[in-house]
Amino acid sequence: MAPGVLDRILSGIDSKPDPRVLVGFENADDAGVYLLDENTALIQTIDFFTPMVEDPFIFGQIAAANALSDVYAMGGTPLSALSVLAVSTSVICEEDVKQMVKGGAAKMWEAGVPVIGGHSVKDKELKLGYSVTGVARPEQIYRNSGARPGDALVLTKPIGTGIISTAIKAGTIDKETESEAIKWMCTLNRVKPEVFLSHDVHAVTDVTGFGLIGHTLEMAWASEVSVKIKADSVPLIKGARELAENGFLPGGLSSNREYFSCAVNWSGIDDLIQAMFLDPQTSGGLLISLPEGRSQFLAEYLGKQGFPAEVIGMVTDTGIKQLEFV
């Protein structure tokens, strides 16, 4: 349930309160959460998009990993998925469509999640995604609104996929950089809920279309805190910076700048790094807020699990809700 225009529209619509809704759209969180009983909360999310790579099987994998990420970000265990497909076989061949669906199903099975159905419509612009249902214990739901002053921020994946995807579409990219970006877009954000619990995690979100800056600010706004980012500590996908220097900037980057820059103090950060931090991500990493004393332990643990996790910042004052750099 990525934040965007729909969330802003929904925020202006009155809805009947239901005490069983634990997480709705009020803070643009990663998924909705509904209380089934005292031991079980249902997590629901949906996400779909147009292709960012040429290989249809890989595109399917990325679409699945991206949709699953919202459930992982809430501290949940995904159970099942429904596919969402918009396609016209007069534009794309049926075999490519089959490969996309097979790629998505393969990634879902890697996560232990069966695809139990779906819906398709005819559309000239190809789109693929998934609605995912998961579960968690009600007291172990992780929102984007729990960050506290004194917390540190840990990021689990390097950034730069939007810039690299723009270069892929332009046909101007070396295979090493492309492969590195695809690897991270296909990597599941599968962090077990007990890991969050054992490290006293306070808040989690995943970094997707609003970029690192946007999703960090979403956390700050929801938590009523300010944050500081250590620019030199943010991991970048190898080759992404050079592509940004050569002008491969996605359209969503300028939208992110327009929407979020009012709450950012860019002092000391050059235009190139600003672009990297505003870059819309596909299947990006988790941004985790937890006590500073636990952050390095979590980063080291995640490193052993294959994530290049880094402590990238800290949570400071309450009430100001802005972002600056150190």
From the CB of residue 59, how many other CB atoms can be counted at a distance below 10 Å? 24
Q: What's the predicted TM-score (pTM) here?
A: 0.94
- Residue 10 confidence (pLDDT): 65
CATH code, 151-325:
3.90.650.10
Ranges of beta strands (E only) in the chain are 21-23, 32-37, 40-49, 77-87, 115-122, 127-136, 151-155, 203-206, 225-229, 264-265, 286-291, 310-318, 323-325
For 251-288, write each residue's pLDDT tens digit. Answer: 999 999 999 999 999 999 999 999 999 999 999 999 99
Contact 259, 218 (CB under 8 A): no
Distance from C-alpha of 216 to C-alpha of 205, rounded to nearest angstrom = 8
Ranges of each domain in the chain: 5-140, 151-325
For 134-151, write each residue's pLDDT tens digit. Answer: 999 999 999 999 999 999
CATH code, 5-140:
3.30.1330.10
For 114-173, write each residue's pLDDT tens digit. Answer: 999 999 999 989 999 999 999 999 999 999 999 999 999 999 999 999 999 999 999 889
Distance from C-alpha of 64 to C-alpha of 12, rounded to nearest angstrom = 31
